């Protein structure tokens, strides 16, 4: 319970003040614990932020591929779950924070790359590896995720609006058709 309280306090402060503007002292004060208590669970700000990123993915564990499911159906289900999760305001705010602060901290950028999407990418890679004939599934998983996230950039730059559930499903269907069939070129 203490760890969750600390993580929630840290999230509020990181989102309000940024990574560099948040101190362990401030997290302890916000959480209502001593600094020693915070350090007992998180020995550094980096470890605290790493735990926060992992905490963002805790409720993502409910997603899994059905072994008997058809490729298109399972990829669609994955795409909707993946994109819905990544378009949530909380996730967009964390990604904005990482983009703005990782240029000054290579360590922070490395931390984000190593913790941000391994769960999703790993599950998708494993699933695709069962459907590809002897090819490495990881590049295909990366490409599918990148195609799904194509609409995120304007939203991150505050030029677009958050996607509705209907827009997410339509984008997933478009992405899925392109991913599985390629461009509909004239012949």
Give pLDDT, residue 38.
96
Give pLDDT, residue 91.
83
Give pLDDT, residue 179.
95
How far is residue 164 from each of residues 87, 89, 135, measured CA to CA in Å? Answer: 9, 12, 35
Distance CA 27, CA 16 (A): 12
Neighbours of 124 (CB within 10 A): 24
How far is residue 35 from each of residues 29, 43, 174, measured CA to CA in Å? Answer: 8, 10, 50
Of 147, 140, 119, 13, which is closest to residue 58 (Cα–Cα)?
A: 119
Give pLDDT, residue 134.
82
Q: The domain 2-54: what is its CATH number?
A: 1.10.10.60
CATH 1.10.10.60 domain locations along the chain? 2-54
Distance CA 44, CA 67 (A): 41
Q: Which two tokens stand for residue 137?
A: 């599934």
Give pLDDT, residue 78.
92
As separate numbers, helices (DSSP H) first and strands (DSSP E) second, the chain gives: 11, 0
CATH 1.10.357.10 domain locations along the chain? 57-181
How far is residue 179 from each of residues 36, 128, 147, measured CA to CA in Å? Answer: 51, 12, 8
* pLDDT tens-digit map of 69-94: 789 999 999 999 989 988 988 888 88
pTM over 0.85: no
Give pLDDT, residue 62.
58
Residues of the chain with pLDDT under 70: 57-64, 67, 103-106, 109, 112-113, 115-117, 159-160, 185-187
CATH fold, domain 57-181, is Tetracycline Repressor; domain 2 (1.10.357)
């Amino acid at each position: 319970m203490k760890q969750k309280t600390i993580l929630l306090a840290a999230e509020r402060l990181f989102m309000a003040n940024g990574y560099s503007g948040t101190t362990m002292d401030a997290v302890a004060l916000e959480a209502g614990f001593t600094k020693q208590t915070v350090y007992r669970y998180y020995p550094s700000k980096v470890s605290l932020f790493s735990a926060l990123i992992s905490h963002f993915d805790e409720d993502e564990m409910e997603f899994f591929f059905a072994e008997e499911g058809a490729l298109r159906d399972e990829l669609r289900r994955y795409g909707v779950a993946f994109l819905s999760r990544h378009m949530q305001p909380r996730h967009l705010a964390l990604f904005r924070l990482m983009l703005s602060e990782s240029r000054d901290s290579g360590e922070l950028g490395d931390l984000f790359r190593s913790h941000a999407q391994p769960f999703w990418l790993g599950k998708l890679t494993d699933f695709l590896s069962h459907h590809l004939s002897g090819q490495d599934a990881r590049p295909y998983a990366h490409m599918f995720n990148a195609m799904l996230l194509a609409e995120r950039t304007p939203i991150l730059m505050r030029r677009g609006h958050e996607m509705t559930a209907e827009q997410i499903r339509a984008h997933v269907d478009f992405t899925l058709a392109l991913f599985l069939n390629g461009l509909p070129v004239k012949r």
